[in-house]
Each structure stands twice: as structure tokens, then as C-alpha cells.
């Protein structure tokens, strides 16, 4: 049902309807020339005649109509451009601009247009938020007029009209245009003959072979053979009049033919010198050596993921083969859980209720019946629960299972499948959203995935959600995950790095190798937390994302662009560890509430508010009081900061911090406190101590007792020391 305000506002579109209001449109445009830019009066009249001027009018007493706002656009071929959008001040924020823009979208979709463009000055924050809310992403950046020295953001919105061309797939939920779908790319690996034989009983490497084939069944990869291997089996095993079981089994695999003769000879000559240099010098290869080289040549020719073998000579050449041909040569032992797949240690965590805690632990085999019941209740077929979700995989060799328990009840489940490529973290997540701690369970398990990704960074995380996972999607959005259209699959890139001018090139090349995402060739300077950064997406689309959006999408990540503001802020040891989690010592006590949040709160004196502008980099200095380390231990970024009275401070402020209502008085006597929300915490591998800070001119005793700004040069030197190899 339309609101009263909507009912009292009409949208006129035709030339005859608009004509009585053109003078008022021109007058309003001239008054707002600073925001709208100057356009000649003749242009308004021309666009009105074409039907390209929409005017919003409001009803007054009786039949009298009054001008309320206008939208003028230009429409050529399949693209339209918004020239002006304006609403009178007393009606701003009441949906009039939204209605004008909505009518334009509907009008252009009826005509089969592809997209709408709008030019918006970067410094007009409120206007940019409006265009973003309405689905206009930044397509390019252009300089404005020299008089005002503005930067102009050219925004684009893709219409839902029937089109001959596919849309870009770029949305606010997927800022990097990643391919997020139910389809998961599985690398294809050719098998060597020795791996097939190892699958037989009483073979010394049988466990590794079994783990390999189990990993394939759970979707880690796809196994295939080359035609050379089948010919090899025929030569070695086949007897006249009978078929060997191994040869019969081999026919069930996908088989790739050898390269054409010319390509094969060229590849064999090059590969022979890499893998078997001695035989290459002698000019002769053994039959087995030639067979191995043919397998490799087949995988390279068909651009497959790699080759799995137990041959020591081929494995020794793996690094060179990867660099020269981009092929992954691995042993079956790569699929064993020896180091990369060890079970998570048990952790206790605080909840918001006094004395209550929840547990994150390796999934207990005794809970499999409860897990299957939960998955069934969520709408997962029992066959999928076992074959895909690992609901009956107590060996923990292929799927690593993690549970969140509250008073012994299962609240959340995460199953991580062993992946061939270490930079890919794949999981399946199910949360019982009927439980009171469902939000915490989702947060804990998604953070568990991100921790794995940080260990392997740069890495990509893909999560398949069980049905009915509203809470999990909400938590994932805060953590920077992008979602598929139906929300059933989540994906995120993780670089876990402080990006500087010096490591810009290695960071961007690693990101491109990981996800085909390309950043600018040279490091830009810092202008604003909302500044636009050019990104070339995996599908070839170019777009611009805000700096804060870029950091969130790659988090934990902090882009220390030249000129970015930074502060050093002190923190007591008793608060530093639970808030930042930087200590290398394990604790038997439940972890703090704050450690469960990606965005945490630092509470300080009201005088510090002006220092914590959004986008500011925080360097946390653990003071010496209470046995502290007297060093900078972590770096983070400010999301926002605000003043809050002690009496008005509630759980939403204190839960992501390490303070309570009782300990809040330790932060100064003033009733007003600064609450700083920060995220993207990255620990310094080498804490920067007091002696180094003094040498840099920012470590005197009077300088480290309160928050203070540092220069870009000091920030650069601190980061160099803190991240030195």
C-alpha cells in the first residue's frame, strides 16, 4: 500500500505534462549548480520534447500542483545517462528520488535498454551512498573540471531487460565479479601406472593410494589416464585370450589421447632434458622413462591440472615443470592428512551469559546420529549427508569435521574437504538456527575457515551452506564473503597481508595467480577511505571498488597506501591478549567474547575521538605495565568511532571489547568514552620494541601513554621491522 507521501507525489513524463514545470526545473538546477553542474536552459526544453525529462509534483490543497523534483536523462542506442537528479530540500529523504529513478529503470527496461550511467563527484558522499543503494557501481573514473579539481565517478547500473549479452555478474554482494556457483571446478590429474598398482592389497604405499581415491570421491579432484598408460598395461599385463583385471579397471577412467606426433616429439625432447638429463645426454630413454615423459606431455598438451606419480625422478623435477609448463606434479601422499589435516584442538569460548561457554572441537564420532538428524531437519538427504557432508566419516582422513557444542548439544557443523591445491579451502557449513547460540556458532566456524585460509594465504575459501541458513549468511556478509544468487554458496579471497609500496607488485601478482583478479600496476596514493581502486575482474570486466570494500573483500588485509593516516595507541597487557589474540602461549581459560568478532571495540578517552577517523591505521602498543612487552604487537584499521556515555554503554558496545560495566571506569574518569570499531587485525611477526620506537622518534615515555599520530615515514619503518623476514 502506498504511503501518504507517495500518494501525494506524482511523476509526470510526457512533454505536455512536463511543459508547465520547465521554468521551475531550470531555476532549481541553477540554484544547485555546485552539485548538479551547469546545463543550458535549451537542453532542458529539448530533453522534455524527447520525453527524457521526468518531473515529480506534489498535490497541494485543491487541484494545485507544485514542483517537487526532476530527473533528466539522455538515451542513445541501448544505453542511457542520467544528466540530473534533484529533489527539493524539504522532500529529500522521503523516497521521491527513489521513485524517479525507479520509474526511469522501468521505462528503459520496457524499451530494451542495457544499462544506465550517472556521473557523480567523488566528494559528494551522500549522493554516492544513494547511487550505491540503487545498484549503481563505479565503472570508471574521470577528472572533473580544473576549477574545482574534482574526481568524477562514472557509475553504471545493469538493467534486467531481455538482452543478447550476458550481464557482468558484478553486484554489491559480489564486488569482484567472482564465479560463485554450485559448480566447483575440479582439477583433472593424470595417474601414473605405479599409483594404480599401489591400490592393490599388501602394497607398501596402499594407504596413500586409498586416500587419493577417497579424496576424488569427495570432490577434491578428478582422476584420469592417458592413452599411453592403457597401452603400457597392454604391453605389461595382457595375455592372449584374457583380460587383466587392472586393464579392465583402467577402462572406467576418462582417457586423454597423446599429443599429435609433432607436438609430442617437441615436448618429449624438452621434458627429457628436465626429468631425465642423463638419459637425454646419452640420446636414449628407457621404455619406462619414455612412458613417463608421454604422460607428462599428454597432461601439458590438454592443459590438465597435473600428474600424480610415485617416481622419484619425476617428482624431483616438479618445481621446474610447474614454472615452465604450469603443471602440478605431486605424489599420492599429498592427499594424506599427516600435517595439513590434523584435528583442531578443543577451545572454550565465553558467551554473553555469565558463567556460560560454548565449545569448538573436533567432531565427536559419538555425535554422528545427532548430526544426521540435524542435516535431515535442514533438508539435506541422508545420502548427501554421508557422501558429501562426511556425516559418517569417523576416520577424519578426507573430511576434517568441526563441531560447536553448547551444553553438549550440537549447534553448528563444519566439514572441510581435503583439496589438492593448498590455496583452496573448501567447506560445508550447517547451523541449527533454533539454538540460542546459533549466531556465535556461525561466526566461530566461519572464522575457523578464515584461519585455515590465513595459514595458506593467499587463498580462496568456498563454503556450501545447508538450506535455511539465514544467520550464517548474515554473519558471512560481515566477514566479507560474496554469495551466489541463491545464497547457497559463499566465496572469499584472503591475502592476510599488510600491503605497502614495496610489496605491491608481489601482492598483485599473487592475487592474479590465485583468482585472476588484477589491481593497478602501480601503487596508488591514499586520498580517502572511500576512494575508488580500479579492479579487473576474472571475467574481464573492469570496475572500481572503494578502498574499504577492497580490504574487506580480501581481509584480513590493510593497504598502507602512501599518505594514509596512522596512530599508535596504548593497551594494557591484561586487555591486549583477549582483544588482539597475539599471544603465542595457549590458555586453558575460555577465550574472550571479543575474539569471536571480526569487528572489535577499543574504548578510550573522549579526547581521542578526533584521531580515529574511518580508515585510520591503528598500531597497538602493549605497554610495560603488568608485565607487558613494551612493543607494537598488532595492526588494524578503523571502521568508525563515536562517543558514548558510560550509562548508555550496553552489550553491543562491550561484547566486542574486553571491558565490562565494572572495568569501564579504568578508562578515565570522564563519563563520555570514545568507542572505536576496528577490524582486519594482523599480528606483527616481529613486535617492534621500545628501543626501535625511540630510534624512530615515536617512543618517548610521554608519547606512548595516549593515542598519537605518526608520520608516513615512521609507519613505513615500523612495518619494515615488524614484517622483516
545 and 608 in a single domain? The answer is no
257 falls within a domain: yes
Across residues 634-643, what is the average pLDDT? Answer: 91
Q: How far is CA 224 from CA 82, 237, 302, 605, in A?
A: 54, 20, 12, 64
Q: Please tell me the distance from the alpha carbon of residue 462 to that of residue 176, in angstroms, as a whole number.
A: 15
> Do the domain assignments include residue 175?
no
Percent of the chain with pLDDT over 90: 25
Q: How confident is the model at residue 393 (pLDDT cuts 50, 70, 90)?
A: low
Shared domain check, 641 and 715: yes
The domain boundary, picked from 559, 578, 597, lies at: 559
Q: Average pLDDT of 117-144?
A: 85
Asked whether residue 405 is assigned to any structural domain, the reply reads yes
What cell does 6 get?
507517495
Q: Are 156 and 541 in contact (CB under 8 A)?
A: no
Does one domain contain both 140 and 39? yes
Q: What is the pLDDT of residue 668?
A: 57
Q: Is residue 259 part of a domain?
A: yes
pLDDT recorded at residue 419: 66
At 350 the three-state DSSP class reads strand
- By CB atoms closer than 10 A (0-12, 13-18, 19+), residue 621 is buried
Strand partners, 543: 535
The pLDDT assigned to 655 comes to 67
CA 418, 430, 338 angle in degrees (round to 5)? Answer: 20
Which stretch of DSSP H or E encloses residue 103?
Answer: helix 96-110
Rg for the chain, CA atoms, rounded: 31
CA distance 508 to 135: 27
Give the pLDDT confidence score for residue 621 in this predicted structure: 93
Boundary residue ending a domain (559, 579, 607): 559
- What is the tens place of the pLDDT at every residue in 528-567? 888 888 888 887 777 788 898 899 889 899 999 999 999 9
pLDDT at 350: 58
Sequence-separated (6 or more) residues with CB below 8 Å from residue 246 = 196, 197, 233, 237
Element (H, E) at 411: strand 409-417
Arithmetic mean of pLDDT, 396-409: 82
Same domain membership, residue 395 and residue 260: no
Phi/psi of residue 460, nearest 5 degrees: -120, 135
* Count of Cβ atoms closer than 10 Å to residue 494 Cβ: 27
Q: In whole angstroms, what is the distance from residue 88 CA to residue 84 CA?
A: 13
Nearest to 233 by CA among 252, 243, 249, 247: 247
CB 415, CB 311: distance < 8 Å: no
> Are 505 and 518 part of one and the same domain?
yes
Same-domain check for residues 625 and 606: yes
145-151 long-range CB contacts below 8 Å, 24 or more apart?
150/121, 150/122, 150/123, 151/121, 151/122, 151/123, 151/527
**For residue 648, pLDDT beyond 70:** no
d(C-alpha 657, C-alpha 168), whole Å: 40
358 within 8 A of 411, measured Cβ to Cβ: yes
Length of the chain as a residue count: 725
CB contact at 8 A, 75 and 40: no
496 sits in the region (left: phi over 0; alpha: psi -120 to 50; else beta) called left
Q: How confident is the model at residue 341 (pLDDT cuts 50, 70, 90)?
A: very low
Of the candidates 546, 542, 544, the residue with the CA atom closest to the CA atom of residue 531:
546
The average confidence (pLDDT) of the chain is 82
250-288 as b/e: b if 16+ CB within 10 A: beebebbebbeeeebeebbebbbebbbeebbeeeebeee
Question: Which grid coordinates belong to 400?
Answer: 576434517
Same domain (yes/no): 470, 516: no
Give residue-wise pLDDT tens across range 651-697. Answer: 666 666 666 555 555 665 567 888 888 999 999 999 999 999 999 98
Among residues 559, 502, 507, 506, which one has the least CA distance to residue 529?
559
pLDDT for res 456: 82
Query: What CATH number should be reported for the domain holding residue 286?
Result: 3.40.50.1010
Better-predicted residue by pLDDT, 19 or 343 = 19
**Does residue 554 sit in the same domain as residue 572?**
no
Strand order in the sheet with 617-622: 600-605, 672-689, 631-645, 617-622, 566-571, 708-710
What distance lies between CA 490 and its chain's CA centroid? Answer: 9
Residue 48: inside a domain:
yes
Any domain includes 442: yes
Per-residue pLDDT reduced to its tens digit, 478-507: 888 887 767 788 889 999 999 999 999 999
The neighbour count for residue 627, using CB atoms within 10 Å, is 8
Residue 244 lies in a domain: yes
pLDDT higher at 652 or 311: 311
HSE at residue 329, side-chain half, CA atoms within 13 A, is 28
Decide which of 187 and 722 is more confident.
722
Upstream peptide bond of 556 is cis (omega within 30 degrees of 0): yes
d(CA 336, CA 418): 9
pLDDT in tens, 410-446: 999 998 877 666 688 888 999 998 888 888 899 889 9
Q: Which residues form the domain of 119?
A: 4-158
Beta-carbon contacts of 569 under 8 Å, excluding residues fewer than 6 positions away, are: 602, 604, 608, 618, 619, 620, 621, 707
Residue 64: CB atoms within 10 Å: 9
What's the total number of domains in the chain?
A: 5
- Greater pLDDT, 602 or 649: 602
**268 pLDDT exceeds 70?**
yes
Assigned domain for 182 exists: no
Question: In this predicted model, what pLDDT tens digit does every residue of 20-79 receive, in sequence order?
Answer: 999 999 999 998 887 787 888 889 998 898 889 999 998 876 667 899 999 999 887 667
Same domain assignment for residues 463 and 515 = no
Q: What is the pLDDT of residue 620?
A: 95
pLDDT of amino acid 551: 93
527 and 658 belong to one structural domain: no
Burial of 185 (0-12, 13-18, 19+ CB in 10 A): exposed
**Mean pLDDT, range 81-93, rounded to an integer:** 90
Q: Give CA separation, 389 vs 360, 395, 421, 447, 461, in Å.
A: 18, 14, 20, 19, 17
Cβ atoms 570, 621 nearer than 8 A: yes
Q: What is the pLDDT of residues 229-258, one digit of tens each?
A: 777 777 665 555 566 677 777 777 888 888
Q: What is the pLDDT of residue 494?
A: 93
Phi, psi dihedrals of residue 481, rounded to the nearest 5°: -75, 145
Confidence label for 366 from pLDDT (cuts 50, 70 and 90): confident
Question: Cα 182 to chain center, whole Å?
Answer: 17
Are 408 and 471 found together in one domain? yes
Q: Which residue has the higher pLDDT, 298 or 418?
A: 298
- Give the domain-ending residue among 335, 365, 400: 335
Mean pLDDT of 148-177: 66
Q: What is the CATH number of the domain that holds 394?
A: 3.40.630.30
Q: Whole-angstrom Cα distance, residue 303 to residue 291? A: 18
Residues 6+ apart with CB under 8 A from 717: 696
Q: Which of 677, 671, 675, 676 is nearest to 647 (CA)?
A: 671
Q: For position 231, what pLDDT does the model report?
A: 77
pLDDT of 589 above 80 = no
Has residue 103 got a pLDDT over 60? Answer: yes
Q: Are residues 205 and 314 in the same domain?
A: yes
Amino acid at each position: 500500500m502506498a504511503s501518504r507521501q507517495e500518494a501525494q507525489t506524482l511523476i509526470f513524463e510526457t512533454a505536455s505534462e512536463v511543459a508547465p514545470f520547465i521554468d521551475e526545473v531550470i531555476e532549481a538546477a541553477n540554484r544547485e549548480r555546485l552539485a548538479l553542474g551547469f546545463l543550458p536552459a535549451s537542453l532542458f526544453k529539448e530533453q522534455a520534447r524527447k520525453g527524457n525529462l521526468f518531473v515529480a509534483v506534489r498535490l497541494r490543497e485543491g487541484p494545485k500542483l507544485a514542483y517537487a523534483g526532476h530527473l533528466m536523462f539522455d538515451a542513445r542506442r541501448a544505453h542511457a545517462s542520467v544528466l540530473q537528479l534533484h529533489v527539493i530540500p524539504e522532500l529529500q529523504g522521503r523516497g521521491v528520488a527513489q521513485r524517479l529513478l525507479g520509474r526511469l529503470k522501468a521505462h528503459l527496461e520496457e524499451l530494451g535498454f542495457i544499462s544506465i550511467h550517472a556521473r557523480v563527484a567523488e566528494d559528494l558522499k551522500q549522493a554516492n551512498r544513494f547511487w550505491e543503494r540503487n545498484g549503481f557501481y563505479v565503472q570508471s573514473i574521470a577528472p572533473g573540471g580544473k576549477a574545482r579539481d574534482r574526481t568524477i565517478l562514472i557509475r553504471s547500473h545493469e538493467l534486467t531487460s531481455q538482452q543478447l549479452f550476458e550481464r557482468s555478474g558484478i553486484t554489491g554482494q559480489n564486488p569482484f565479479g567472482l564465479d560463485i556457483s554450485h559448480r566447483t571446478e575440479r582439477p583433472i590429474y593424470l595417474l601414473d601406472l605405479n599409483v594404480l598398482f599401489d591400490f592393490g592389497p599388501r602394497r607398501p604405499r596402499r594407504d596413500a593410494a586409498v586416500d587419493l581415491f577417497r579424496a576424488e570421491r569427495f570432490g577434491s579432484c578428478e582422476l584420469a589416464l592417458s592413452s599411453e598408460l592403457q597401452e603400457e598395461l597392454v604391453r605389461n599385463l595382457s595375455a592372449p585370450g584374457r583380460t587383466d583385471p587392472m586393464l579392465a579397471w583402467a577402462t572406467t577412467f576418462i582417457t586423454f589421447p597423446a599429443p599429435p606426433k609433432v607436438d609430442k616429439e617437441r615436448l618429449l625432447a624438452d621434458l627429457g632434458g628436465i626429468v631425465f638429463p642423463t638419459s637425454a645426454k646419452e640420446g636414449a630413454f628407457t621404455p619406462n622413462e619414455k612412458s613417463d615423459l608421454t604422460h607428462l606431455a599428454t597432461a601439458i598438451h590438454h592443459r590438465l591440472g597435473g600428474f600424480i606419480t610415485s617416481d622419484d625422478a619425476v617428482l624431483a623435477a616438479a618445481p621446474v615443470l610447474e614454472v615452465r609448463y604450469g603443471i602440478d606434479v605431486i605424489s599420492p601422499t599429498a592427499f594424506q592428512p599427516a600435517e595439513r589435516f590434523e584435528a583442531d584442538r578443543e577451545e572454550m569460548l565465553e558467551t554473553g551469559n555469565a558463567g556460560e561457554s560454548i565449545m569448538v572441537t573436533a567432531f565427536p564420532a559419538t555425535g554422528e546420529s545427532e548430526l544426521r538428524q540435524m542435516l535431515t531437519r535442514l533438508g539435506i538427504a541422508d545420502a548427501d549427508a554421508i557422501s558429501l557432508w562426511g556425516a559418517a566419516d569417523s576416520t577424519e582422513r578426507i573430511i576434517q569435521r568441526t563441531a560447536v557444542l553448547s551444553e553438549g548439544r550440537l549447534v553448528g557443523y563444519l566439514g572441510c574437504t581435503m583439496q589438492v591445491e593448498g590455496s583452496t579451502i573448501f567447506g560445508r557449513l550447517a547451523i541449527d538456527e533454533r539454538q540460542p547460540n546459533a549466531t556465535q556458532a556461525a561466526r566461530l566456524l566461519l572464522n575457523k575457515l578464515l584461519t585455515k585460509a590465513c595459514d595458506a594465504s593467499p587463498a580462496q575459501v568456498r563454503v556450501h551452506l545447508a538450506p535455511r541458513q539465514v544467520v550464517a549468511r548474515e554473519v558471512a556478509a560481515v566477514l566479507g564473503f560474496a554469495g551466489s544468487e541463491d545464497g547457497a554458496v559463499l566465496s572469499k579471497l584472503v591475502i592476510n597481508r599488510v600491503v605497502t609500496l614495496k610489496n605491491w607488485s608481489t601482492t598483485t601478482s599473487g592475487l592474479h595467480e590465485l583468482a585472476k583478479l588484477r589491481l593497478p600496476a602501480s601503487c596508488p596514493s591514499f586520498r580517502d577511505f572511500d576512494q575508488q581502486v580500479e579492479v579487473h575482474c576474472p571475467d574481464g570486466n573492469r570496475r572500481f571498488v572503494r578502498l574499504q570494500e577492497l580490504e574487506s573483500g580480501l581481509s584480513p588485509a590493510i593497504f598502507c597506501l602512501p599518505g594514509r593516516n596512522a596512530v599508535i595507541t596504548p593497551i594494557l597487557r591484561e586487555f591486549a591478549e583477549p582483544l588482539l589474540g597475539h599471544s603465542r602461549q595457549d590458555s586453558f581459560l575460555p577465550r574472550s567474547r571479543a575474539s569471536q568478532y571480526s569487528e572489535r571495540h577499543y574504548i578510550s578517552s573522549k579526547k581521542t575521538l578526533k584521531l580515529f577517523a574511518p580508515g585510520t591505521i591503528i598500531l597497538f602498543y602493549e605497554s610495560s605495565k603488568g608485565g607487558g612487552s613494551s612493543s607494537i604487537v598488532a595492526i588494524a584499521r578503523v571502521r568508525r568511532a563515536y562517543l558514548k556515555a558510560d550509562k548508555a554503554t550496553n552489550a553491543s558496545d562491550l561484547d566486542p571489547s574486553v571491558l565490562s560495566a565494572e572495568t569501564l571506569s579504568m578508562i578515565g574518569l570522564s563519563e563520555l568514552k570514545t568507542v572505536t570499531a576496528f577490524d582486519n587485525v594482523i599480528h606483527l611477526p616481529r613486535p617492534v620494541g621500545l628501543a626501535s620506537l625511540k630510534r624512530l622518534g615515536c617512543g618517548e615515555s610521554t608519547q606512548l601513554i595516549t593515542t598519537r599520530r605518526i608520520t608516513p615515514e615512521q609507519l613505513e619503518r615500523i612495518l619494515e621491522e615488524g614484517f622483516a623476514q
